[in-house]
Amino acid sequence: MTLELIIILLLVIANGIFAGTEIALVSSRRSRLEAQAEEGDRRAQTAINLLEEPGTFLSTVQIGITLVGTLAGAFGGATIVARLTPSLAGLPVIGPYASTVALVLVVLGITYLTLILGELVPKRIALAHAESISRAMAPVMKGLATLARPLVWILRTSTDGVLRILGLRAEEPPPASEEEIKYLMAEGARVGVFAGTERELVERVFRFADLRVGELMRPRSEVVAIEIDMPPHEVRRIVEESTYSRFPVYQDSLDNVLGIVHARDVLVQGEALDLRKILRQPLFVPDSQLISATLRAFQMAHSAMAIVINEYGETEGLITLEDVLEQLVGEIEDEYDRVEQAVVRREDGSLLVDGLLPADDLRDLLDVDRLPGEEQYQFNTVAGFVVAQLGRLPRVGDRIVANGHSFEVVDMDGRRIDRVLIIPQPKPAEDEERSREQTARS
């Protein structure tokens, strides 16, 4: 029976080679393999070639594992069980069931060896030395893949045929989802592979891809604009008192924007100021446009400011190149930026926030995926959220409760909400505990 055990052990080891090679290749860092290939390492190039055809490679591995497993099971059942049964037949209790007991013992033994020596140990080793094992085994796997190509084609064709009969389509999933990449970045930052700023940048890129112009624009009520027929001294006063470098120029109303003027051009003109001579072509973008498309529009128009319009062609506000870039790299502050913070964390745990704080930032502060009424009312700011919940024009002192927090309007700028106080609401268990404490004191 020694020979039979050696054969089964060799089959289990072969299973381990297939399993370990598979894990090594799929977990190898492609950048390292490419660097080794550029230095003339042919084995590394072979490993890269295998990774570029994952379907063929993985099918070959699966064929090898299935074949080895089948041979090990069949050989063990046919030989070792037959050798073991007579030995067990002489035992008083299990004698009548010697054949069944022998089969169970052989199955358990082969399964244990396969799990330890054919799966777990090889995969642990492969993970620890992925690139080295990939380079060592790549030529072998390439040869096996070449031999198994006809069988792989038959299996793939058969699988596709079954899927067609069932009315299903074989769609390959993306290499990695957004959540998987975020998780990998978080783990990399935790162990020191990535800096915290690198992780933050990647998260900003994903958020950037979903943002629309209406969420970032400066609303119409805060746009500093110049009327085309305004006296020169009045134009210069607006420019000199403002912290902005570019101004929309309109005629009659802000819905009729004629162009953009630069503060520098206004000041250089002096008393002979003629706005029509220094007007620059305005860039118009819809409020529903994705920010990524707006960035391309800025690049193509060689402009740093765009007028935001709604579906009716009315001016909703404006957006600048700086507004867009800040979504990728964070706040870009200069000496003219407003000192007042958009979010002030107070000692009691409450938050004092600007009414124009984007709804996306509010979700992050509250750690929620959605805000009540977000899809129905399509608001873009904290002020819009509060107005949507109130269902009317707000007043100082108005208060709503949502997502386990109360929102109180504490300051108004005309008809616009300027500041909102957000207070976490105690949970029911905390209320009961507080009530018991007050009862005990009394």
Q: Environment class of residue 235 by beta-carbon count within 10 Å: exposed (0-12), middle (13-18) or buried (19+)?
A: buried
Residues 95-132: tens digit of each pLDDT: 777 888 888 888 888 888 888 988 899 989 988 888 89
Q: Report if residue 116 sits inside a domain.
A: yes
Q: Report if residue 441 sits inside a domain.
A: no
- CA gap 377, 117 in Å, rounded: 60
Higher pLDDT, 67 or 173: 67
Same domain for 187 and 217, yes or no, is no
Residue 306, pLDDT score: 94
Same domain for 96 and 196, yes or no, is no
Q: Where are the beta strands (DSSP E) in 129-252?
A: 218-219, 226-227, 246-251
- CA gap 44, 36 in Å, rounded: 6
Same domain for 150 and 112, yes or no, is yes
Same domain for 201 and 285, yes or no, is no
Same domain for 34 and 147, yes or no, is yes
CATH code for the domain of 409: 3.30.465.10
Between helices 291-301 and 196-210, what is the axis angle to 10°?
Answer: 90
Same domain for 194 and 250, yes or no, is no
Same domain for 34 and 104, yes or no, is yes
Q: Is the pLDDT of residue 339 over 50?
A: no
Same domain for 12 and 139, yes or no, is yes
Q: Report if residue 440 sits inside a domain.
A: no
Same domain for 56 and 152, yes or no, is yes
Q: Report if residue 55 sits inside a domain.
A: yes
Same domain for 256 and 234, yes or no, is yes
Same domain for 203 and 217, yes or no, is no
**DSSP character at residue 358:** B
Residue 385, pLDDT score: 92
Same domain for 153 and 11, yes or no, is yes
Q: Report if residue 336 sits inside a domain.
A: no
Q: Report if residue 172 sits inside a domain.
A: no
Q: Is the pLDDT of residue 286 over 80?
A: yes
- Which residue type sits at 417? I
Is residue 383 within 8 Å of residue 420, measured between CB atoms?
yes
Percent of the chain with pLDDT over 70: 88
Q: Is the pLDDT of residue 3 over 80?
A: no
Is residue 254 within 8 Å of residue 223, measured between CB atoms?
yes
Position 267 confidence tier, pLDDT thresholds 50, 70, 90 = confident
Q: Report if residue 266 sits inside a domain.
A: yes
Residue 249, pLDDT score: 95
What is the domain count for the chain?
A: 4
- pTM for the whole structure: 0.50
Q: Which domain holds residue 243?
A: 211-329
